[in-house]
Amino acid sequence: MSPTTQAFVLAAGLGTRLRPLTENLPKPLVPIFQKHLITFALDHLIDAGITSFIINTHRLPQTFEQTFSTGQYRGFPVRLVNEPVLLETGGGIKNVESLLSEPFITYSGDILTDASLQPLIEEHFSRGNDVTLGLRTTKLGSAVAFHDYRVVDIANRHGIAGNYDFANIAIWNRAVFDRIPPHKKISFIPILTEWIANGGKIGGLILNQGRWFNLGSRAEYLDVHRT
């Protein structure tokens, strides 16, 4: 059994780069061969031992309510939490504090990958981390400075150049909730960089294996189907 069974799936983005596909649907609900994109994420998490889901929404929340009208997916409970005003990643995590009772995974609802999540889970618990970020080598960016199993800077806030990109998957201990101000729009980046400065154990694991698909444009959306 996985030592963590809860996931917070972030699905509140605007999906502007994928228009016109996202004019009537949020990006996580865009179909891949008639299967909603977000359900690939849920399948992936179920395979890793996750048994309950919280999904934040913003734009067109009624489409999520229709998709998960039974309050479950494959027999596992799904709780939808709407953000009328976008809270960004840090604020979004704080907003679901009352619904999470143990260390939890965050996972972007527009990710499409089959990379194994079990090593990330094992890394988090075996090293006693406060937070463990999934990292990748990509052409999109390298904002995360990672050395000797520790994340030492993000976005050059401590003057250390990054060497990896955040893979939009992470594991968090509940201690993070004490570090995020309530009802505030805030990214996780200043939360983690302050935590690093205060001695927090912010770890990481490189997830370059497996297949990763970017759906940032219509051309990339078509490429996923060809693959």
Helix (H) or strand (E) holding 67: helix 61-67
Compute the distance between CA of residue 106 and CA of residue 98 in angstroms, rounded to an integer: 15
Whole-number pLDDT of residue 142: 87
Q: What is the Cα Rg of the chain in Å?
A: 17
Whole-number pLDDT of residue 96: 96
Compute the distance between CA of residue 143 and CA of residue 159 in angstroms, rounded to an integer: 11
pTM, two decimals, is: 0.94
Mean pLDDT in consecutive groups of 10 residues from the start of the chain, 227 residues: 88 79 86 93 96 95 96 97 94 96 93 94 96 92 92 94 94 96 94 96 95 83 88
Whole-number pLDDT of residue 216: 77
Whole-number pLDDT of residue 1: 57
Which residues, in sequence order, are bridge partners of residue 135? 166, 206
Query: CA torsion sign, 10 to 16 to 19 to 24?
Result: positive
Residues near 103 by Cβ (< 8 Å), separated by ≥ 6?
A: 3, 4, 124, 125, 171, 172, 173, 174
What is the CB neighbour count within 10 angstroms for residue 174? 13
Whole-number pLDDT of residue 22: 74
Which residues, in sequence order, are bridge partners of residue 133? 170, 204
